[in-house]
Amino acid sequence: MSKPILSIENLYKNYGATEVLKDINVAIQPGDFLVLVGPSGCGKSTLLNCIAGLEEVTAGAINIGARNMVGVPPKDRDIAMVFQSYALYPTMTVGKNITFGMKVRKVDAEVQARKLAEVSKLLQIEPLLNRKPGQLSGGQRQRVAMGRALVRDPQLFLFDEPLSNLDAKLRVEMRTEIKQLHTNLNASIVYVTHDQIEAMTLATQIVVMKDGIVQQIGTPAEIYNTPANMFVADFMGSPSMNLIPAQVESSDNGMQVHLERGSGERLTLRDTGTLQELGSAREVLIGLRPENITNPNGDAAQIAHCHVDVVEPAGSDTFISTKLGGKSITARMRADTKVTAGEGIDLAFDLSKASYFDPASGARLN
């Protein structure tokens, strides 16, 4: 492992008596794409502003390169930032917007022109260089904002919800482009979003935050498959993970999971993979992704006949809702599944990727 490009140590941020960020510890390597994700008000944008130097920190250290940046003004941190509202300078042309930073830093006019040409070619905004931001569409403004960041060639890029002002289709396009840019430039990026799909698709590392506290740090796969607690399990993934109250009991061939069914009878499933440390018998919440409850396909998966409450065809899949453990749960069926609400259907439960949570603390048990 090389030296981290960004490391945040024991960072605290208070606004008066309110603690906004509590004991944040994050480090990323050069070339990493770190996504800070969480519901609004979780402190992710504040954390980004702290990294940028736009907000003072209350305690802790922020190192960019190997240098502690606390107290260093934004302009000396060797960073570039893309804002949610793009924050293009309205009276300057696109070209002037992109070169403003270089002009302020008194970069040679020739170098400015060369870099402007490079970046505008890369982002395909050459025809727009003499326009004002007011004459651009949302997607074009987005590109210009990225151009302004790219032209600086900083150690670290900061993105503050850059796609949330775009319409759905453009957002997906720009997402792909950002990912491509990251791959091509091998840039180190910190990216804030509340959209967990953006987080999953873009990140090499995800930080899930809630109420100013880091809930989990990991690769998208880690976050998705082994969420550290119920909040992460519920927040990441769409439709979100089914969290079903259950009783577990160890037996000779693996662990038995008892689920309450609507009529009072029990559904018992078997989990052969999960460890003994769950104890002999206890109450848990079992977390199953919708794709782990699906059409039976003949293998050893465990099957139960369930009553269908709602059918939602989504084109590529068909989602159905049923009741289990007193909660409505979602199963992801093949698109060609023929079923209507009110009928019964066989569902196969795959417990190999099941997560178990403590009902009281919400923490992961396995």
Partner 1 sequence: MTDTSTQRTGDFKNALLRAGLYAMLILFALYYLMPLFVMLVTSLKSLDEIRTGSLLGLPRDVDFSAWGKAWSGACTGVQCEGLRPYFWNSVLIAVPAVLISTFLGAMNGYVISQWHFKGSNMIFALLLFGCFIPFQVILLPMAIMLGKMKIAGTISGLIFVHVIYGLGFTTLFFRNYYITIPVELVKAAKVDGAGFFRIFWSIFVPLSAPIVVVTVIWQFTQIWNDFLFGVSFSQAGTQPITVALNNIVNSTTGVKEYNVDMAAAIIAALPTLLVYVVAGKYFIRGLTAGSVKG
Amino acid letter at 93?
T
The string of DSSP codes covering 46-73 is: HHHHHHHTSS--SEEEEEETTEE-TT--
Point out which residues pair with 306 in neighbouring strands. Answer: 345
Judged by beta carbon, residue 88 or residue 125, the one nearer partner 1 is: 88
Paired tokens of 344: 């019964």
Around Cβ 288, how many Cβ atoms within 10 Å? 23
Whole-number Cα distances in Å, 291 to 9, 131, 226, 330, 350? 37, 48, 15, 9, 9
In whole angstroms, the minimum distance from the beta carbon of 144 to partner 1 comes to 11
Q: Minimum CB separation from partner 1 for residue 272, in Å?
A: 54
Q: Which is nearer to partner 1, 152 or 332 (CB)?
A: 152
Min dist CB 353 to partner 1, Å, is: 41
Cβ proximity to partner 1: between 56 and 312 the closer is 56
Q: Which alpha helices (H) appear in 203-240, and where do they start and end?
A: 220-225, 230-235
What is the CA angle 163-165-168, rounded to 5? Answer: 70
The tally of CA atoms less than 13 A away on the side-chain side of residue 325 is: 19
Question: Which C-beta is closer to partner 1: that of 92 or that of 339?
Answer: 92
Q: Are strands 344-349 and 302-307 parallel, antiparallel or unpaired?
A: antiparallel
How near is the Cβ of 84 to partner 1 at its closest, in Å?
Answer: 7
Which are the contacts of 113, defined by CB distance < 8 A and separation ≥ 6? none
Residues forming a β-bridge with 49 = none
Q: For residues 134 and 264, which CB has a smaller minimum distance to partner 1 in the complex?
A: 134
- Supply the minimum distance, in Å, between the C-beta of residue 105 and partner 1: 5
Looking at beta carbons only, is 93 or 204 nearer to partner 1?
Answer: 93
- Of 74 and 362, nearer to partner 1 (C-beta) is 74
Provide, rounded to whole angstroms, the least separation between the CB of residue 182 and partner 1. 19
Dist CA 78 CA 365 (whole Å): 42
Amino acid at 182: H
Euclidean distance between CA atoms 210 and 223, whole angstroms: 14
Radius of gyration in angstroms for the set of CA atoms belonging to the chain, rounded to a whole number? 25
**Shortest distance, position 25 Cβ to partner 1, whole Å:** 24
Q: Which residues are at the interface with partner 1 (CB under 8 A)? A: 49, 52-54, 73-75, 79-81, 83-92, 100-101, 104-105, 133-134, 141, 148, 152
Min dist CB 42 to partner 1, Å, is 20
Q: Which is nearer to partner 1, 8 or 156 (CB)?
A: 156
CA atoms of 5 and 31, how far apart (whole Å): 9
